[in-house]
Structure 1
């Protein structure tokens, strides 16, 4: 889907706002497993996945943990760093050959004063991501690993391209448990 057609499904913006935003968008191509933003860096970019997929990850007790996946027309941003300006203990990695649309956050936020419809659009996008995060936390609290896996399958057909270790850590289970769940589904 065209980016602006996607934006229109959330909140239509004026032609002037679209033109101003187009000036900020930079297409980035990342190879499979390439680090987009490293752990310890500051997030100054809002990314939307055009093709492929990416993940937010961190290390805990030496284990690589996947916190979030993003696929076509989904936002991927380390919000805790974007909004505070502080470095973060999380990174962003491409999980396949991936094309991202990168928007400089400082320039985007400056456009808000001139284009209130742009501010509303991105507020709604960030709100959707916040709700997604809350639902993910509730899923971890209240649903079984099997239910969480089925939810992931409903989210994307990209699952076959995601390494099992990333899926298992995202679900909060071991790869062995994930293999059992997958085999029970046939």
Structure 2
């Protein structure tokens, strides 16, 4: 789906706003496992996955922890850094060959003053991401690993292409536990 067609499903923007957005969007491809944003850096870009998949990750006790997955037309941003303008202990990594659209955040925020429809569009996008984050936290608190895995299966049809280590980490379980859950479903 074209980016602007996707935006229209959330909140239609004017032709002038689309033209202004086109000026600040950069397309970039990332190789499998390539780091998109380093841990410890400031987030200055809002990414939208055009194809492939990516993850937000961090390290805890020497373990690589997957916090978030992003697939086609998903936004991926380290919001705590984007809005505070401070470095973060999280990074962004491509899981497989991934094509992303990068939007410079400073340029985007400047466009808000001239194009209120863009501000509304991105407010709705960020609100949706916030709700998804709360749902994820509630899922970790109140649902079993099996229920969380089934939810993940419902959210994307490319879950089979994601390495088990990412899925297990995202679910908060070991790869062995994930293998048991998967074998119990088949």
TM-score of Structure 1 vs Structure 2, range by shorter chain: over 0.9
Q: How many residues are paired up?
A: 186
3-state SS of 1:4 partner: helix
In structure 1, the partner of 2:137 is: 137
In structure 2, the partner of 1:111 is: 111
| 1:160 matches 2:160 | yes
In structure 1, the partner of 2:10 is: 10
Q: Distance in 2 between matches of 1:46 and 1:72?
A: 14
| 1:20 matches 2:36 | no
Residue 160 of structure 1 and its aligned partner are, at CA, apart by 1.2
**What TM-score do you get using the length of structure 2 for normalisation?**
0.99
Q: Distance in 2 between matches of 1:158 and 1:45?
A: 25
Q: Distance in 2 between matches of 1:137 and 1:176?
A: 23
**What TM-score do you get using the length of structure 1 for normalisation?**
0.99
In structure 2, the partner of 1:100 is: 100
Q: Which runs of 5+ in 2 are unaligned?
A: none
Residue 23 of structure 1 and its aligned partner are, at CA, apart by 0.5
Q: Which runs of 4+ in 1 moved over 4 A?
A: none
Deviations 1:84-117 (A, max 9, x none): 0100000000001000000000000000000000
Q: Which runs of 5+ in 1 are unaligned?
A: none
Q: Distance in 1 between matches of 2:158 and 2:131?
A: 22
Residue 27 of structure 1 and its aligned partner are, at CA, apart by 0.3
Deviations 1:63-97 (A, max 9, x none): 00000000000000000000001000000000010
Q: Distance in 2 between matches of 1:29 and 1:123?
A: 26
Q: Distance in 1 between matches of 2:31 and 2:158?
A: 16
Q: Distance in 1 between matches of 2:75 and 2:111?
A: 19
